[in-house]
A and B are shown apart, each in its own frame.
Chain A
Amino acid sequence: MIEIENITKRYGETAVVDDVSLTIAPRTVTVVVGTSGSGKTTLLRMINRLVEPTAGTIRLDGEDNRSLPGYELRRRIGYAIQGHGLFPHRTVAQNIATVPTLLGWERSRIDAKVDELLQLFQLDPAAFGPRFPHELSGGQQQRVGVARALAAEPKVLLMDEPFGALDPIIRAKAQDDLLTIQKHFETTIILVTHDMEEAFQLADRIAVMDKGKVVQYATPAEMLIKPATPFVESLIGVSERPYRLLAIEQVSSAVEPGSADGAAISSALTQREALAELLWSGRSALPVADPAGAIIGKVSLEGLAKRAAGPA
């Protein structure tokens, strides 16, 4: 649990983070969005005290984050930054081993962890471990950056636009990987992004920042249905709303009784994907199969259209 209470950061006269309070539940993904300069990075860096707040407190699992020296706090919190910041003079394995080494882990435990993480990110340890960062592609560097942030099994992971430099396909892959890993390690993630698509895909909750203030902190669905301000509404994108709404939920919750012709669609896909399939194949209903392959009903254009509608 992360409790951010009335946190403020001033540079001179301007408050770049202005009296922000957020409570972040353990094992969730919170995404911070907002325009450039709205204070997202500053807020994130106050959690691991790369920036000291002017006022307010931050507690991690009930403990004030100022109760131990900054460098010790930072060894417990994973931090992945845009442009990965890998150490160019160290191999991939040494980069990943940074925090465990600082913590004085045993060699064998470090090696095992490095191998585990490389495998998790689909990088062959024997091939990639001994390489230097400049011998990797941008996407691989990015994954190593995230692996390094996760190496000491932090409960909390801060990510500042970690996927900014990736092409759309690798990006989607990296996002999927992140969610898998988050479940695997039960990490609490706070992620900053400019990309609303990414925010809606990853977030349990989204915090929207504008000029240093958090103007709305809500689940994606709440934010779509009841945007707190016109700013939030414009950030979501008016023309995207129905699709984002459908993208949040799985087909399984839109299943209707009855049958339909043609190839079945998996109940684990999002409703948005089902809609796309309906439109593309020119049909008005599709059979739905559960993960085991059994047909459990159908999903219809009409049904999805109702679900995509905003509050009247």
Chain B
Amino acid sequence: MPNLSTLFRAGAFLVLVAFLLQPQWFEPLLRPLVQENAPVIYNQGSLLQLTLLHLRTVAVATAAASLVALALAILVTRSSGAEFLPLSRSLVNIGQTFPPVAVLALAVPIFGFGEKPTLIALFLYGLLPIFENALTGLTTLPPSVMEAARGAGMTGGQRLLKVELPLAMPVILAGIRLSVVISLATATIGSTVAAKTLGEVIIAGLQSNNLAFVVQGGLIVATLAVLLHDGLQAAERKLAARMGR
């Protein structure tokens, strides 16, 4: 029996898909937000295409951030790499504290306008939650389990792949989830440097004083964020439940 919140999410998903495929159906709802004669539905490109590009940008940046952050976390939790912990910590912290807008401003002269500066900004911004969570996950494993893994004759690599990573996975996934949600929202500013994201809709709305554009851009991003957040959280729960936590 699906509960209320599952139904609500399924509904949100259906509305989102409908809106992306047939935006004109929703015209009456948004009409009150615009002045006479102004377009109600974004008309400078396909909303569906922008959404897919937006998601792609977030996916690429998060995948890269996950790989690097996880690799760093694995490195610094090996006895041979422990000395790099403070350095790695400061690096990912800088990535988080440096404002993405400033990253864009610095990256444009080097990489030009378009998707690349956005990817870099999102990548840097997304490192910290994944790194910190992976670190927590890998350093708080039950000692008796680690002892048993060593006692059974697993090599360092086998322990990492068969025991440490699977056990830390729910916590690592939580970090990736945070990073995805942050990136979904942050990606909109990429459109200030001509990246194809849903930010384009919001910016177009701001420039032409069209509230309907701003609202539809914002709502699509927000709905995506909620759905992805919940989807990933469900996956984490499932993993964790299998381990009896």
Contact = CB atoms under 8 A, between A and B. Distances in A.
B147 A75 contact: no
A63 interface: no
A50 interface: yes
Interface stretch (B20-28, B67-75, B149-157): B149-157
Contacts of B145: 85-88
Given A88-B244, A134-B244, A81 B148 contact: yes
B243 A102 contact: no
Contacts of A148: 148, 152
A280 interface: no
Q: Give the interface size class of chain A.
A: 20 to 34
Given A50-B147, A89-B166, A74 B152 contact: yes
Interface of A: 48, 50, 71-76, 79, 81-89, 98-99, 102, 132-135, 145, 148
Contact of A87 (B149, B150, B155, B245): B149
Q: Which of A84, A98, A135, A148 has the most CB of B within 10 A?
A: A98
A248 B59 CA distance: 69
A243 to B, nearest CB: 34
Contacts of B144: 81-85
Q: Secondary structure of the B side of the interface?
A: helix
Contacts of B166: 89
Interface residues of B, number: 20
A163 to B, nearest CB: 15
Given A86-B145, A88-B167, A89-B167, A74 B243 contact: no
Contacts of A132: 242-244
B158 interface: yes
Contacts of B152: 74-75, 79, 98-99, 102, 148
Contact of B147 (A81, A102, A134): A81
Interface core residue of A50, A73, A81, A133 (most chain B CB under 10 Å): A81
B151 to A, nearest CB: 4
B158 A74 contact: no
Nearest to B151: A79
Contact of B155 (A71, A84, A89, A133): A71
A201 to B, nearest CB: 25
B163 interface: yes
A89 B163 CA distance: 8
A87 B158 CA distance: 13
B95 to A, nearest CB: 31
A294 B124 CA distance: 85
B160 to A, nearest CB: 13
Contacts of A102: 152-154, 158
Interface in B211-244: 242-244
B241 to A, nearest CB: 9
26 contacts: A50-B150, A71-B153, A74-B151, A75-B153, A76-B153, A79-B148, A79-B151, A81-B144, A81-B151, A84-B148, A85-B142, A85-B145, A85-B149, A86-B145, A87-B149, A88-B142, A89-B243, A98-B152, A99-B152, A102-B153, A102-B154, A132-B243, A135-B244, A145-B148, A148-B148, A148-B152
Contact of B242 (A48, A71, A89): A89
A48 B163 CA distance: 20
